[in-house]
Structure 1
Amino acid sequence: METTKPPNDAVGAGTTQRAESADPADRERPIDILADRARRLLTIQWADGHQSAYDFELLRWRCPCAECAGEAGLPGKLASTTELTDDQVELNQMEAVGLFGIRPYWKDGHDTGIYGLSFLRAICPCEECAAR
Structure 2
Amino acid sequence: MSHEGIRFITEEEARRAQAAESELSVEAKTPAKVRVDKTGGTGMEIEWKDGHTSRWTFGWLRDACPCATCHDEREKSGRRPGEAKAKPQTLLPMYQAPPRPESVTPVGRYAISFHWNDGHQSGIYSWDYLRRHCGCAECATAP
The residue identity in structure 1 corresponding to 2:60 is L
Provide, for residues 3-27 of structure 1, a one-character-per-residue CA deviation record: whole Å limited to 9, x for no partner.
Answer: xxxxxxxxxxxxxxxxxxxx92100
Superposition pairs of residues 102-121 of structure 1, within 5 angstroms? 102-121=112-131
* Cα distance change on mapping 1:108 and 1:131 into 2, 3 Å: same
What are the residue-to-residue correspondences of 1:40-119 with 2, within 5 Å?
40-70=42-72, 81-83=85-87, 85-86=96-97, 89-119=99-129
Q: Residue 93 and residue 80 in structure 1: after superposition, are their counterparts in 2 closer, same or farther (change >3 A)?
A: closer
Name segments (4+ residues, structure 1) moved above 6 Å.
none
List gaps (5 residues or longer) in structure 1. Answer: 1-22
Aligned to 2:12: none
AA at the equivalent of 1:82: A
- Kindly indicate which of the two structures has a greater share of residues assigned to strand: 1
Root-mean-square deviation (CA), in Å? 2.8
Whether contact under 8 Å (2:41, 2:100) holds in the other structure is no
Q: Please identify the structure whose Cα radius of gyration is greater.
A: 2
Q: Classify 1:126/1:105 alpha carbon distance in 2 versus 1 (closer, same or farther; 3 Å).
A: same
Q: Secondary structure at the match of 2:26?
A: helix
Q: Which secondary structure does the structure 1 equivalent of 2:59 belong to? A: helix
Give TM-score, length-normalised by structure 2.
0.65
Equivalent pairs counted in the alignment come to 107
Q: Kindly state the Cα deviation for residue 81 of structure 1 after the two structures are TM-superposed.
A: 3.4
SS of the aligned residue for 1:115 comes to strand
The aligned amino acid for 2:28 is R
The runs of 5 or more residues in structure 2 that have no matched partner are 1-23, 88-94
Which whole-Å CA distance do the structure 1 matches of 2:53 and 2:105 have between them? 19
